[in-house]
Structure 1
């Protein structure tokens, strides 16, 4: 059975809600899924999984969380070549442009995006949660 890590950081709980929906979709797709807060995960562990789904909200001026997530992702960039990747996160302003920058970084690192990143404004609604489940299912299919 394919193993997927869902690694996230959440300040308000919105991205955590999205992470839980991503897990649901991946499990429904037949994958073994581990939900991990970014502070409890090391980039060295990426190789232990068949794919990684990462969640982080937009912080500051459309950036990744500088305290925990950005340091993790900066280290992870060197380990993403050929890795199946999916991303999600909420935003409060700026329209979610952080996802475009984040996607460019994954592509530059050689990561293989399984689907477009999923964003939503503030608390995820039913549509956003369904898109999160679809992202999880896309990863399960890609690694299955």
Structure 2
């Protein structure tokens, strides 16, 4: 059974809803899944997991949340080489440039990026939540 951490930050609840749907899909595929709000996860724990799924919405000028998520992700980057990683998040405006930058950054860390990131505009509806469950399921099956 693959051990997976889903680590997210959510300001409005949109990214949290996505994280919970991803968790459902990953558990449904047989993964040993732990869901963490960013404040309760330590970057030093990254090596303890077979794969990681990070979630953060776009903030400001389409950047990662700077108060707690960005510092955690920066610390985690030194452990991502060779590690399977998936990214997700929501946005309220813009076209997803924050995800494109985050994907390139994560590839540069040497992570085995699972996809080009799952993004949802505003609150996820039924179709978007189904996409989230599918991401969790397929991620676990690929490990």
TM range (shorter): over 0.9
The answer to whether the aligner puts 1:134 opposite 2:130 as a matched pair is no
Per-residue deviation, residues 64-116 of structure 1 (Å, max 9, x unmatched): 00000000111111110000000110001112211100000110000001223
Report the TM-score when normalising by structure 2.
0.97
Instruction: Please report how far the alpha carbon of residue 127 of structure 1 lies from its aligned counterpart in structure 2 after TM superposition.
Output: 1.8
Instruction: Please report how far the alpha carbon of residue 137 of structure 1 lies from its aligned counterpart in structure 2 after TM superposition.
Output: 1.1
User: Structure 2 CA distance, aligned partners of 1:50 and 1:86?
Assistant: 12
Report the TM-score when normalising by structure 1.
0.96
Count of paired positions: 143
Runs of 4+ deviating beyond 2 Å = none
Per-residue deviation, residues 38-61 of structure 1 (Å, max 9, x unmatched): 111111101111000000000010
5+ residue gaps, structure 1, are: none
Instruction: Please report how far the alpha carbon of residue 25 of structure 1 lies from its aligned counterpart in structure 2 after TM superposition.
Output: 0.8
Q: CA RMSD in A?
A: 0.8
User: Structure 2 CA distance, aligned partners of 1:7 and 1:98?
Assistant: 17
8 Å contact 1:84–1:142 — kept in the other structure? Answer: no
5+ residue gaps, structure 2, are: none
The aligned runs of 1:56-135 (5 Å cut-off) are 56-135=56-135
Q: SS at the partner of 1:66?
A: coil
